[in-house]
Chains A and B, each alone.
Chain A
Amino acid sequence: MDKRTNQLKTVAYNLLSVAIVALLWTMFAAWQNSPYFPSPAEIWKAFVGLATKGDIEGVSLSAHIWASLVRIFAGFVAACVLGIPLGLAMGLWPKLYNRTRAILEPIRFIPPIAWIPMAIVLLVGFGRYVFLIWLGAFFPIFITTLLSVTRVNPVHVNVAKVFGAKRSYIIRKIVIPSVLPDIATGMRVGLGIAWMCIVAAEMIGGEMVGIGRLILKYAELLRMGEIIVGMLVIGIIGFIMNEIFIMVENRLFRWRSEVSID
């Protein structure tokens, strides 16, 4: 079977699984007959309402999505800008990590959500959200970068060394290409955690826009249709971002062996 047919088949199976879940959901909602378990049709109606008329305060769905996306982007970029160079530096100079791990490691285990009260007190507005997303995304990116440097194949380093390569060449041409796929994986994990953080932060953060805030507004009114719209929007945006990431990874790292257990 050629690659194109295989891709089409995968898409068809995914659409089929979505259709089956929607059907089961509809049947379960009909059986429950409860305002707290809306059917897919009711959720669609809630979505159309939010998209065309906005929420109860008149804020449109696109404004909520945009606010969350901008916050995610800023925090995620900050996490990459700090996490990748720091992970590389500490991987290349392990003493740097060994001598600071008593600070880094305990911070890593504090959930970003636990920082929310402090962020509310010490920071304002946009910075509050960026800080929390940065905190959530930073450690997966930093740790995967750090560990990937220690796993660089020594034979690859020796190949360059015997030809008389300088340390800077080895870092640029051997270490960095070796660790890039792992960094990309860390970034994908970091992006997932960034979404978890932003929703939690927006629920408590005080501003009236953002998908987390949208969910909370309708939670207070017990309107499950709009709540589920908010949840699905997060899931779909996260899914699209992940797919884009995978496409870029496949393009950039097409040299990697494809492993199959078929």
Chain B
Amino acid sequence: MNTRKAKIQVKDLSKHFGELVVLSHMNFDIYDGEFLCVVGPTGCGKTTFCNVVTRLLPSTDGSVTVEDEPVNFKKHNIAFVFQEPSCLPWRTVWDNVKIGLEIKGYSKKDIKDKVSEVLELTGLTKFKDFFPNQISAGMKQRVAIARSFVTEPDMLLMDEPFGQLDTSTRFHIESSLVKLWERKKQTIIFVTHNLEEAVYMSERILVCTPKPTTIKKEVQVGHLPHPRDITDPEFVRIRREVTDLVRWW
């Protein structure tokens, strides 16, 4: 039995677009400081799931609560790493990272301290004065991650953020993300279709069905220590288990 406190509760969440049912009666809790992965096939509605959870899109039924209150951008500290490139091209790396703090009204000193720290953690200090068009795709995603971590969010949603990166860059950023999470212990919902990525990073995996998307099974991964060895027998077993769940779609 899990004794951790549920920070985010998703109850009976459904989303329809006219006749099309995209999300159907999804129920799960996310614990404080947990790294949760949601896996599902491409086109199953993962982005819709993220948008509905953050209320960028209204749900048709059900609720999402953070500490028993409906999600509210102004009240709750939420961050989102989008699937598509989301750096603001007219802002430097530094200005991109600070935007959340700027919106939340932090003092100049706090902004300077926090942005410096997160740039250091993500290895972007040298590039702080660069514009997004001057850095690589992998670095842009690191900027997006730094921007989301800097506000120390209650809920951090990541929608297939590494989908457009090559294997080595992806592996490097995944390791950086895990290190960052271990230090900051943010509550993360990481959405992906990459099963190995899910097993490599998360504490728990929710396996989704194709449309209408619902939770098929929960797989625990938290007992594997970080950094994880992808050839470790337990790692391989879990990956096989998740793959088998996927295979039966």
Please list the residues of chain A having a beta carbon within 8 angstroms of any beta carbon in chain B.
Answer: 155-156, 158-165, 169, 173-174, 177-178, 180, 253-258
Contact = CB atoms under 8 A, between A and B. Distances in A.
Contacts of B75: 164
B189 to A, nearest CB: 13
Given A161-B73, A162-B73, A169 B88 contact: no
Contacts of A155: 82, 84-86
Contacts of A180: 90
Nearest to A253: B90
Given A155-B86, A177-B88, A256-B89, A163 B100 contact: yes
B88 A159 contact: yes
A174 B95 CA distance: 13
Nearest to B134: A255
Contacts of B73: 161-164
B141 interface: no
B88 A174 contact: yes
Contact of B103 (A163, A255, A256): A163
Contacts of B104: 163-164
A107 B107 CA distance: 50
B79 A256 contact: no
B74 interface: yes
Closest 5 CB pairs of A and B: A255-B131, A164-B73, A163-B100, A257-B133, A164-B74
A162 B90 contact: no
B53 to A, nearest CB: 11
B80 interface: yes
B213 interface: no
Contact of B56 (A161, A178, A256, A257): A161
B224 interface: no
B56 A162 contact: yes
B59 interface: no
Interface of B (DSSP majority class) = loop
Contacts of B80: 158-159, 162
B188 to A, nearest CB: 14
B86 A159 contact: yes
B99 A159 contact: yes
Interface string B119-157: 000000000000111000000000000010001000000
18 contacts: A155-B85, A156-B86, A158-B56, A159-B86, A160-B103, A161-B73, A163-B79, A163-B99, A164-B75, A164-B104, A177-B88, A178-B90, A180-B90, A255-B90, A255-B132, A255-B133, A256-B89, A257-B133
Contact of B54 (A162, A173, A177, A254): A162
Contacts of A160: 99, 103
A161 B78 CA distance: 10
Which of A160, A174, A180, A255 has the most chain B CB within a 10 Å cutoff? A255
A258 B82 CA distance: 24
B82 to A, nearest CB: 5
Nearest to B51: A158
A159 B82 contact: yes
Q: Which of A158, A159, A256 has the most CB of B within 10 A?
A: A159
Contacts of A174: 88
A72 B65 CA distance: 59
A254 B89 CA distance: 10
B131 A254 contact: yes
A173 B102 CA distance: 11
Interface in B66-94: 73-75, 78-80, 82, 84-86, 88-91
Given A155-B84, A257-B133, A177 B79 contact: no
Nearest to A169: B103
B86 A255 contact: no
B58 to A, nearest CB: 14
Nearest to B79: A162
A162 B88 contact: no
Contacts of B132: 255
Contact of A255 (B84, B85, B89, B99): B89
